[in-house]
Structure 1
């Protein structure tokens, strides 16, 4: 015998529907409401039957009181009128229990059965004897009253129909409302499911919360919060891996650069000894740049080894002159107008680690020189005994998409940049118990580097 195979899509659809939240919500509701409606209809049917039976008994007793001691003859015309009036069928019997008159076609006495079948109709039969039958002119000894059972069934059905119809209509209304609410709930849960799957796949940017105040809305908010935390954690892990890789690369490159810089310094010093005094200033600048490069290389080697360079306290004035002498040729080469301003109180302050301050300030000024045509560098002493360096340039500013993560490693606006300069500035500020921040002011970009002094 051949077995019919369902298509995979159809099997999946049936499986999804069988396991759908809609069915799980609608199923018990419909079954419970339908059972309640059937129970109420059955109870109404039973009560309707009792009420109809009591009504028939009451009607029979009224007919018995009227006809049992009546003085008018119960002939065919009278029985026909009474039958139409009471919606019954009447049969009269004589002393020998033979039929005298009847409103229904019957040939033989029906006997004393409670249910009488005449033709295709069924009747409930009630019987009573007349009073002083021998003295009656019509000689009627007993009367049988037949009530159509179809009317009794109709009364029962009418009693059950109203609660049944009400129950079914209530079921339809509740099912429709529940289905719509369940569909909306399923849609929200489905959106939440897709969002969680996206988060599991590594997409931490989209949001799922629909601003609902119910449990699903709060769950969506929790998922968004989880995605944000995972995004931060992923970025932190990514930065740590990148920094680890950078340390390894820096260690290898620094060893090579140290040898090259040592050779370059020796060559420049030999050349300085052989040149005229007119070129002495430019050669000294070149030697100073090589010395700074050697210091940076030394720091890279320490970072690659996971060690921190020892602090070297210096005055701000010495560090200021160091920064100015090293960056002045760069500004002249790039044809950038740079203004330097430092107050005496700031120059006398002493820094916990001069090289860290020099590296941070040099980075800020170097970025400003590359970004704008006019740069202003000002150092001042604040009221709380800190030194603040304010670097201002007329460049286009920081892109909005990078503003929040500007001081994080590997974040840069330069195609050829590695994104380490501002992260070095941030670390220097933290090392010197200070802070760094930036803002736009009158179409200018302003970086403020503030550190504590000894």
Structure 2
């Protein structure tokens, strides 16, 4: 026989369960291995919401089922369906290349005599990698020494030099808070949001970024002075801003005339529907960080917020993934695009307004 076998025959011959999900999170196709794993026919599965069919002991994986733009892989996780355990599987979900509103889920059962990576009585926090705990412990000790040295030095400086030691102390405290946050990211704790003047945080992040470059980069701003307070977690937002600004600095580092701008504005357009909420949350506060660097390669544009995707040779691809996570924890969103009119890359942060008392 010449040529390739039909697609249905290829899908039927695969050992891993494959599930195709559309833009409304509905199952549109299941291969025979998927029917066998789930214990029911494709006829009974097609048209159902995928998050009503599949359930994980880790809530982060449950959330991934209804994230349209996520690419995620998890190894050795317990899965259940229709109130019964289905076993331990390797799980993968990613958008289809031909239409990113559609997603493909792959479930590969592990042998029953294989290693036990999870038990029914495990707390979901036990799935978290313990490396951040060890790393935090090792980093906090030298940070305490740096903070103590800065405080001692502060006593010996005149008033014109003290802002530098105060910046060191503030940045050490921010890193400690970041380490604490890294240790609790896996526990899905809600963000500690409160009303914050976003321009104060932007100014802090800008001064910190400029100081880190030895004043080699000057960041211009164009603020909307009438902007209301945003409902955000200030430590998380500071981390978002410093990450995005650091990316802009890296993108323009070797340009003869680097240009970085921060623009704030109020827009009525953006909103999101939070899970479990009937009313959409409006996101009218916008922060745009623009730079005249080369931009993100076209083939990576849809993946830049995924873990381990980076445009830097030495990058590990965790910065923007963390930014996306922090923004979503605060009911915000982030978007990347290219401003062709001014030939600038642009990251736009969308934030909710703090309610009036």
TM-score between both structures, scaled by the size of structure 1: 0.47
Matching residue of 2:353:
453
1:144-175 Cα shifts (integer Å, max 9, x gaps): xxxxxxxxxxxxxxxxxxxxxxxxxxxxxxxx
Counterpart CA distance in 2 for 1:283 and 1:188 is 68
1:182-217 Cα shifts (integer Å, max 9, x gaps): x46xx44378756766x548999xxxxxxxxxxxxx
Larger strand fraction of residues: 2
Matching residue of 1:266:
148
From 207, 219, 241, the counterpart of 1:338: 219
Structure 1 vs Structure 2 CA RMSD = 3.6
- In structure 2, do the counterparts of structure 1 residues 306 and 190 end up closer, same or farther at CA, with 3 Å as the change threshold? closer
From 243, 249, 257, the counterpart of 1:369: 249
1:67-124 Cα shifts (integer Å, max 9, x gaps): xxxxxxxxxxxxxxxxxxxxxxxxxxxxxxxxxxxxxxxxxxxxxxxxxxxxxxxxxx
Matching residue of 2:138:
256
Q: Secondary structure at the match of 1:293?
A: helix
Matching residue of 2:293:
395
TM-score between both structures, scaled by the size of structure 2: 0.58
Give the conservation status (yes or no) of the 8 Å contact 2:308–2:317. Answer: yes
Counterpart CA distance in 2 for 1:245 and 1:395 is 39
Matching residue of 1:441:
339
Question: 1:302 Cα shift?
Answer: 2.2
Give the alignment of 1:280-319 within 5 angstroms. 280-303=162-185, 307-308=189-190, 310-319=192-201
- In structure 2, do the counterparts of structure 1 residues 407 and 191 end up closer, same or farther at CA, with 3 Å as the change threshold? closer
Unaligned ranges ≥5, structure 2: 20-28, 35-49, 51-63, 78-90, 93-124, 253-257, 270-282
Counterpart CA distance in 1 for 2:261 and 2:146 is 33
Question: 1:453 Cα shift?
Answer: 0.9
Matching residue of 1:411:
309
Matching residue of 2:73:
237
Question: 1:386 Cα shift?
Answer: 1.6
Give the alignment of 1:139-154 within 5 angstroms. none
**Which portions of structure 1, spanning 4 or more consecutive aligned residues, are displaced by more than 6 angstroms?**
201-204, 239-246
Give the conservation status (yes or no) of the 8 Å contact 2:174–2:235. Answer: no
Counterpart CA distance in 2 for 1:345 and 1:336 is 27
Matching residue of 1:38:
none
Counterpart CA distance in 1 for 2:192 and 2:344 is 36
Highest RCO, 1 vs 2 (Cα 8 Å, sep ≥ 6): 2
Q: Secondary structure at the match of 2:130?
A: helix
Question: 1:370 Cα shift?
Answer: 0.9
Counterpart CA distance in 2 for 1:297 and 1:251 is 9
Matched residues, number: 245
Question: 1:449 Cα shift?
Answer: 0.8
Q: Secondary structure at the match of 2:226?
A: helix
Matching residue of 1:426:
324
1:265-300 Cα shifts (integer Å, max 9, x gaps): 011101111233342122222222112111111212
Question: 1:431 Cα shift?
Answer: 2.7
Larger helix fraction of residues: 1
From 230, 239, 249, the counterpart of 1:359: 239
Q: Secondary structure at the match of 1:413?
A: coil
Question: 1:441 Cα shift?
Answer: 1.8
Give the alignment of 1:37-436 within 5 angstroms. 183=1, 187-189=3-5, 200=15, 236-238=72-74, 247-303=129-185, 307-308=189-190, 310-333=192-215, 335-346=216-227, 348-372=228-252, 373-383=258-268, 386-436=284-334
